[in-house]
């Protein structure tokens, strides 16, 4: 049960089972405790709201990170494919160049041996 409710029950018991001036003295003391308990309860509620918002933000950031990671992986894959194509073309050009250099009569030409 909530502490504020317990304090309210205690206040009711003080009213029912005490006589003035004791009733006033006890209720004054209890009033401070009730104010503190209510303030604490409000602070806890605000903290819970803040934590809930932080969790939501964390989840959104994690989802964005996952999406970003997937996009980065896709881009890396595309770049690797492009790199493979370039390396294949370079190898083809090197084969062509070595073949061209090895043919008789190409020694004096640019790039010739």
Domain of 30 in residue numbering reads as: 3-74
Query: Each residue of 45-60: pLDDT tens digit?
Result: 999 999 999 999 999 9
CA–CA gap between residue 111 and residue 100 (Å, rounded): 9
Decide if 44 is inside a domain: yes
Q: Give the residue from 69, 70, 3 showing the smallest Cα distance to 35.
A: 3
How high is the pLDDT of residue 111?
A: 54
Decide if 101 is inside a domain: no
Give the H or E element holding residue 9: helix 3-17
Residue with token string 């309210």: 8
| CA 31, chain centre distance (Å) | 43
pLDDT above 80 (res 110): no
Provide the domain count of the chain.
1
Decide if 30 is inside a domain: yes
pTM over 0.75: no
Decide if 17 is inside a domain: yes
């Amino acid at each position: 049960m909530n502490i504020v409710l317990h304090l309210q029950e205690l206040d009711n018991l003080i009213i029912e089972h005490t006589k003035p001036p004791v009733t006033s003295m006890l209720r004054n003391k209890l009033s401070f405790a009730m104010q503190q308990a209510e303030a604490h309860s409000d602070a806890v509620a605000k903290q819970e709201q803040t934590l809930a918002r932080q969790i939501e933000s964390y989840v959104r950031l994690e989802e964005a990170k996952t999406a970003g990671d997937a996009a980065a992986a896709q881009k890396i894959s595309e770049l690797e494919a492009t790199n493979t194509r370039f390396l294949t073309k370079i190898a083809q050009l090197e084969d062509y160049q070595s073949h061209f250099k090895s043919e008789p009569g190409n020694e004096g030409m640019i790039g010739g041996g």
